[in-house]
Amino acid sequence: MNPAGYAAQVRRAWAIARKDIHIYYFKGPVLIFGIFMPVFLFLAFLMGSRQLPLSFLIAGLVGMTLFFSATAVSPAIFPWEGSAKTLERLASCPITVEAIVLGDMIASTLFGIGITLITVIIGMALGLSLLHGVTLLVAILLAACCFSAIGMLLAVPPTNVPSNIMMLSSLLKFPLVFISGIFVPLEQMPSWGLALAVCSPLTYFTDLVRYSFTGSHFFGVWIDIAALGVFMVIFTAGTMYLHKRTMPKRM
């Protein structure tokens, strides 16, 4: 494909992203799951963990907010459109499967970034000092892209029943939250817990958020950024490839 062809596909991906934002995002259930679920988990943990500093807890809240908001809708978009037969219409248009997936990822990335920035502002309003703002912005951008790719990867099974995908999504997302150093500091984890934590991209994002607010980290800034970048590339390439393989089974 020539450069003009790639540019055309990117424009079509952006059109799909705008469509997703208009139809699927900023709906009541999406806002509840993307915003209130992390807040409720945060408050429940706060009431039983008053000995932990506010910076630790807010960093966990920021991590959960981005993770849940960036994966709130993307796993169910393909099943929804498949059941409504709009996916067939998209597939018949001059647009590649990769561009369709990219459009869905752009929408979930933008939604996740917007909601997460609100959480960051709340943390600053509670008295936290943002020591490394550029690092935090880079971390949010990389993590939002990575988490949106995870959301689309969860949508790979060729089913048109959204509840099946959402059940699978919850089954995978909640364990990731509990092994990623959000509720338990990485320094206090046993060796087997730390071995699980390093396999989660959410661990590295939370570590970067804590560094941005406190100046301290567990792995190191560049290790965290590199890990998020590697996870983003792997998940994005995987979801593009797998959706291209499973798209014919949705028709």
Q: What is the pLDDT of residues 6-60, one digit of tens each?
A: 888 888 888 888 888 887 776 666 666 656 666 666 666 666 555 677 778 888 8
The secondary structure of 44-105 as a DSSP string is HHHHH-TTS-HHHHHHHHHHHHHHHHHTSSHHHHHHHHHHTTHHHHHHTSS--HHHHHHHHH
For 194, how many CA atoms within 13 A lie in the half-sphere containing its CB? 9
Name the average pLDDT for the chain. Answer: 83
The answer to whether residue 5 scores a pLDDT higher than 70 is yes
Domain residue ranges in the chain:
3-250
Can you tell me the distance from the alpha carbon of 94 to that of 206, in angstroms, rounded to the nearest whole number? 40
pLDDT at 46: 63
Residue the block writes with tokens 């809240």: 61
Residue the block writes with tokens 């607010």: 213
Given pLDDT bands bounded at 50, 70 and 90, which one contains residue 172? confident
Whether 152 and 105 have beta carbons less than 8 Å apart is answered as yes
The answer to whether residue 207 scores a pLDDT higher than 60 is yes
Alpha helices in the chain (DSSP H): 3-23, 28-31, 37-48, 54-70, 74-83, 86-91, 97-125, 133-154, 162-178, 191-197, 201-214, 221-250
Given pLDDT bands bounded at 50, 70 and 90, which one contains residue 224? very high
pLDDT at 14: 87
pLDDT at 200: 93
- φ/ψ region of 26 (left if φ > 0, alpha if ψ in -120 to 50, else beta) reads left
Given pLDDT bands bounded at 50, 70 and 90, which one contains residue 71? confident
Tokens for 159, please give them.
Answer: 């089913």
- Displacement of CA 33 from its chain's centroid (Å): 13
pLDDT at 185: 83
Between 76-80, 192-196, 197-201, 235-239, the lowest mean confidence (pLDDT) is in: 76-80
Can you tell me the distance from the alpha carbon of 177 to that of 63, in angstroms, rounded to the nearest whole number? 9
